[in-house]
Amino acid sequence: MANIIILVASFPAASHPHPGNVGAMVKKMPRTAWLIAAGIILTAATLRSAVTVVPPLISTINHDLPLDAATIGILGMLPTAAFGLFGFLTPYVIRWASLERLIVISIVVGIVGQIARVLAPNTTLFLVFTVIAFGGLGAGNVLLPPLVKKYFPAKIGLMTALYVTVMSLGTALPAQMAVPIADATNWQVSLATWAGLSVVALLPWLVALFASPRTTPNTTTAAPSPAVVAGSPELVVHQSAQKAAPAKMNLWRSPTAWGLTLMFGCTSLNTYAMFAWLPEILSEAGLDRASAGSMLALFAALGLPLSLLVPVFAARMRNPFPMVIVTLACFVAGYLGLMLAPATNTWLWVSLAGLGPGTFPLALLLINHRTRTQAGAGALSGFGQGIGYAFACMGPLLFGLFHQWTGSWNAPFLFLFATLFLLGTGAFIICRPKMLEDDFETA
Q: Is 27-242's fold the same as 246-438's?
A: yes
Average pLDDT over residues 54-59: 82
Residue 356 near residue 270 (C-beta atoms within 8 A): yes
pLDDT for 120-163, tens place per residue?
A: 999 999 999 999 999 999 999 999 999 999 899 988 989 999 99
Least confident range of 186-200, 212-226, 257-271: 212-226
Q: How far apart are CA 103 and CA 205, in angstroms?
A: 8
Architecture of domain 246-438: Up-down Bundle (1.20)
* CA 417 to mean position of chain CA atoms: 22
- List C-alpha distances in Å: 171 to 26, 59, 177, 438: 28, 20, 11, 36
pLDDT at 287: 86
- Which one is predicted more confidently, 243 or 439? 439
Q: Is the pLDDT of residue 115 over 50?
A: yes
CATH class, range 27-242: mainly alpha
Residue 12 near residue 22 (C-beta atoms within 8 A): yes
Q: How far apart are CA 20 and CA 35, in angstroms?
A: 23
Domain boundaries, the chain: 27-242, 246-438
* pTM of the predicted model over 0.85: no
Give me the DSSP letters along 187-254: HHHHHHHHHHHHHHHHHHHHHHHHH-TT-----S--PPPHHHHHH-TTHHHHHHTSPPPPS---GGG-
Cα-Cα-Cα-Cα torsion 117, 123, 124, 128, nearest 10 degrees, comes to 20
pLDDT for 330-367, tens place per residue?
A: 999 999 999 999 999 999 999 999 999 999 999 999 99
pLDDT for 195-249, tens place per residue?
A: 999 999 999 999 988 876 444 444 333 433 333 333 332 222 233 334 566 657 8
Residue 309 near residue 301 (C-beta atoms within 8 A): no
